[in-house]
Homo-oligomer: A and B are copies of this chain.
Amino acid sequence: MTGRFDFSVTATSSKARRGVISTPRGQIRTPAFMPVGTAATVKAMMPDSVAATGADILLGNTYHLMLRPTAERIDRLGGLHRFMNWDKPILTDSGGFQVMSLADLRKLTEEGVTFRSHVDGSRHMLTPERSMEIQRLLGSDIVMCFDECPALPADRDRIAESMRLSMRWAARSREAFGDRPGHALFGIMQGGLERDLREESAEALKAIGFEGYAVGGLAVGEGQEAMFTCLDYAPDFLPADKPRYLMGVGKPDDIVGAVKRGIDMMDCVLPSRSGRTGQAFTRRGVVNIKNARHQDDPRPLDEHCTCPACTGYSRAYLHHVFRAKEIISSMLLTWHNLHYFQELMQDMRDAIEGDDFAGFEARFHAGRAEGDIEPL
| CB-based contact A77/B324 at 8 Å | no
List chain B residues, Cβ under 8 A from A52.
none
Given contacts A77-B298, A78-B298, A296-B77, contact A46 B328 (CB under 8 A): yes
| CB-based contact B326/A327 at 8 Å | no
| CB-based contact B327/A68 at 8 Å | no
List chain B residues, Cβ under 8 A from A237.
none
> Which A residues, 291 to 312, have Cβ-Cβ distances below 8 Å to chain B?
295-296, 298, 308, 312
1/0 contact string of A8-45 vs chain B (CB within 8 Å): 00000000000000000000000000000001110111
A326 partner, pick from B39, B76, B308, B313, beta carbons under 8 A: B39
| CB-based contact A327/B331 at 8 Å | yes
A320 partner, pick from B68, B298, B326, beta carbons under 8 A: B68
| CB-based contact A327/B69 at 8 Å | no
A58 to chain B, nearest CB (A): 13
Query: Is A94 interfacial (CB-CB < 8 Å)?
Result: no
Chain B residue nearest to A43 (CB atoms) is B327
CA distance A313 to B44 in the complex (A): 16
List chain B residues, Cβ under 8 A from A330.
327
A44 partner, pick from B83, B85, B328, beta carbons under 8 A: B328
List chain B residues, Cβ under 8 A from A227.
none
Query: Is A165 interfacial (CB-CB < 8 Å)?
Result: no
Copies in the complex: 2
| CB-based contact B324/A68 at 8 Å | yes
Interface size on A, residues (CB 8 A): 36
> Which A residues, 268 to 311, have Cβ-Cβ distances below 8 Å to chain B?
295-296, 298, 308
List chain B residues, Cβ under 8 A from A44.
327-328, 331
CA distance A326 to B69 in the complex (A): 13
| CB-based contact B296/A76 at 8 Å | yes
A312 partner, pick from B40, B85, B327, B328, beta carbons under 8 A: B85
List chain B residues, Cβ under 8 A from A47.
312
Query: Is A341 interfacial (CB-CB < 8 Å)?
Result: no
1/0 contact string of A315-333 vs chain B (CB within 8 Å): 0110111011011101100
| CB-based contact B41/A328 at 8 Å | yes
| CB-based contact A73/B316 at 8 Å | yes
Query: Is A314 interfacial (CB-CB < 8 Å)?
Result: yes
Query: Is A84 interfacial (CB-CB < 8 Å)?
Result: yes
| CB-based contact B40/A308 at 8 Å | no
CA distance A40 to B330 in the complex (A): 15
List chain B residues, Cβ under 8 A from A319.
69
A46 partner, pick from B40, B69, B323, B331, beta carbons under 8 A: B331
| CB-based contact B43/A326 at 8 Å | yes
CA distance A47 to B331 in the complex (A): 12
List chain B residues, Cβ under 8 A from A314.
77, 83
Chain B residue nearest to A85 (CB atoms) is B312
List chain B residues, Cβ under 8 A from A68.
320, 323-324
A221 to chain B, nearest CB (A): 28
A134 to chain B, nearest CB (A): 16
Residues of A at under 8 Å CB distance from B? 39-41, 43-47, 68-69, 73, 76-78, 83-85, 295-296, 298, 308, 312-314, 316-317, 319-321, 323-324, 326-328, 330-331
Q: List 18 A-B contacts (CB under 8 A).
A: A39-B326, A40-B317, A43-B327, A44-B327, A44-B328, A46-B308, A68-B323, A69-B295, A73-B295, A73-B296, A77-B298, A78-B298, A83-B320, A85-B312, A85-B313, A327-B330, A327-B331, A331-B331
Additional A-B contacts beyond A41-B321, A73-B296, A327-B331 (4; CB < 8 A): A39-B320, A39-B321, A46-B328, A69-B316
